[in-house]
Amino acid sequence: MIKPGDRAPDFTLKDSEGNPVKLSDMKGSWVVLYFYPRDATPGCTTEATQFTAYMKDFTKMGAEVLGVSADSCDSHQRFMVKFDLKVKLLSDPQHKVLERYSAWGSKKMAGKVLMGINRSTVLIDPEGKVAHHWPKVKADGHAAQVKAKLTELQA
């Protein structure tokens, strides 16, 4: 389980254009790493568009915003274009990073227990340590919660 003070597990994943993105290359910046179930679904669209709405604020605070799902790079590209998203979306089809960040596991849907992505967020400080972890997230309003926590931690 990810917890504040832990070293954030390093990773390299491809973005929507197929370019590798490595967490350790972002040392010196804050990183908002949010995990979401699926491109273009209602909750995931709400979350991504709200993070996009705050991108100027996150940039001013020295924070990168990265969304991770198991969707393909092509799916991410279509999602970004359709909703004019400004967040960077990363593809983890083998769930390796999702598992390392406790975002892959069992969840209930329609009364059944399934394996899938649990919507969650990890805020990583400029030293590469976990500053805050939201293990269960409600999409609507979450970007504002993350912005408020980042503001608090930088004060």
Known catalytic residues?
44
Q: What does the DSSP 8-state code read for residue 8?
A: P
The token pair that represents 24 in the structure block: 């350790």
d(CA 118, CA 123): 16
Q: How many CB atoms lie within 10 A of CB 102?
A: 16
The DSSP 8-state label assigned to residue 10 in this structure reads: P
Residue 142 belongs to what H/E stretch? helix 142-154
Calculate the CA dihedral of residues 67, 96, 74, 78 and round it to 10 degrees.
-30
